[in-house]
Amino acid sequence: MNAQELLKTVNPSYSTAKGCLALLMQTGEPDAIKLGREIDLSELQKTRSAAPSETEIEIIRGYTAAHDARYNVWNRIAEESDCDVIIDLPCGYLPHALAVSRMGKQYYGFDLPVVINEIEPAVKKLSDDPAIHFSGVDATNYDSMKNALDGVTGKICIITDGMLGFFSMSELREVCTSIKRLLSEFGGSWYTSDAMAQDLMAFGYEAVTGKDPAIVFAAVKSGSAQAADIDNSANPFSEWSYNERKNLIEELGFNVRAFPYSDKLPDLRSCASVPGLMERMRDKLTGMIEWELTAKDGNAYGTYGGEFYIKVNTEGNTAIYEVGGRLDTMTAPELLQKFNDSKPAEYITLDARNLDYISSAGLRVLLIMSKSAKEPVRVINCSDSVKEIFDVTGFADIMTLE
């Protein structure tokens, strides 16, 4: 595997972001069309039905209107913010950078390295604005985001849209810790519609078709989980009630100000050709909530970790991988590369004596390793905090923990 293939293997959720660009292109958004010409969207064809049903067509129409709303609400929040530094987390493949550039503000696009490797050169072909910056980060890893903001002064505005539903509980806590630390240091706000992310798709479908949106909730949940190759059944932003989500975010160190999503909603291109559709969208989105989050006083406690390393030893027919530091989006490809380059072994052991943290990307690599051996990976010497991650993600039932 080359470097990009390794990144795609450990982070398959990147493909959902390309779908968002394709939907925005259907609205006629000029920046999206220009950017779509620079991004390889051919792999989306693999997930599309050869002959979509009428229901699938209606869902796509609803999704298109919803993504039109997401894109334009995001831009309005960025424009109206009193911060000159806008952080797009995750930036995906949408053309927010071009919109923020026209606002005269600094744009920082953060996403998985697999995404940044494609979006950065594509945007650079369309704009040479030095205020546009891209960095591959892991949202659970504070250091990766802080390093990407080197030289930034003043308040920051972080906007996330559709991200929080992809994390396990342990990852969600790390993400919130990382963002709280950034806001505590720089000042500013975090805006997210993720409190009701699934509802937005359903509202768009209902406005466009006039039909019961229940089918959309099922489609969003199964589609996201399949694309990301995760089980999100325990994710608070997939399963919990709105009030439970709000209480969790407050417990994780944030002040929450909720306001109607429709307050930031301009007229949409996707609704212009259908009489009455824009009014129906506004009506349906009256109940949609956006959050403005600010950091509460007090420390943010997360798992920061030591220096990452991998050591490989062989004892008979067993390969022993000693891994230290954080095994996350930034480092999991290194473990996969080391595994691919190593001689096949009948049994595999992970020595976690110095492993501080493991994310879903790291767990995904362990699963790949397990499938190559006679038995699942045997994990030894793991700390209580790492063992808890294996427990809550269900991997304690897949691997052998000792």
Residue 226 pLDDT more than 60? no
Looking at residue 227, what is its pLDDT? 44
- Region 64-88: what's the mean pLDDT? 97
Looking at residue 101, what is its pLDDT? 98
Query: What digits encode the pLDDT tens for the residues 269-328?
Result: 999 999 999 999 999 998 899 999 999 998 777 766 788 999 999 999 999 999 999 999
- Region 225-238: what's the mean pLDDT? 58
Looking at residue 350, what is its pLDDT? 97
- Closest to 168 (Cα-Cα) out of 141, 199, 140, 204: 140
Looking at residue 363, what is its pLDDT? 93
Query: What digits encode the pLDDT tens for the residues 320-343?
Result: 999 999 999 899 999 999 999 998
Amino acid at 315: E
- Region 149-158: what's the mean pLDDT? 96
Domain boundaries, the chain: 3-295, 309-401
Looking at residue 225, what is its pLDDT? 43
Q: Both tokens of residue 214?
A: 């229940």
Cβ-based neighbours of 187, under 8 Å, separated by 6 or more: 154, 155, 156
Looking at residue 394, what is its pLDDT? 85
Of residues 235 and 142, more confidently modeled: 142
The CATH superfamily holding the domain 3-295 is: Vaccinia Virus protein VP39 (3.40.50.150)
CATH of 309-401, one of 3.30.750.24, 3.40.630.10, 1.10.1740.10, 3.40.50.2000: 3.30.750.24
State how far the Cα of 400 lies from the Cα of 378, in Å rounded to an integer: 5
- Closest to 345 (Cα-Cα) out of 327, 320, 322, 368: 320
pTM of the model: 0.91
Q: 126-130, 342-346, 362-366 — which one is most confidently predicted on average?
A: 126-130
Looking at residue 335, what is its pLDDT? 95
- Closest to 189 (Cα-Cα) out of 320, 108, 292: 292
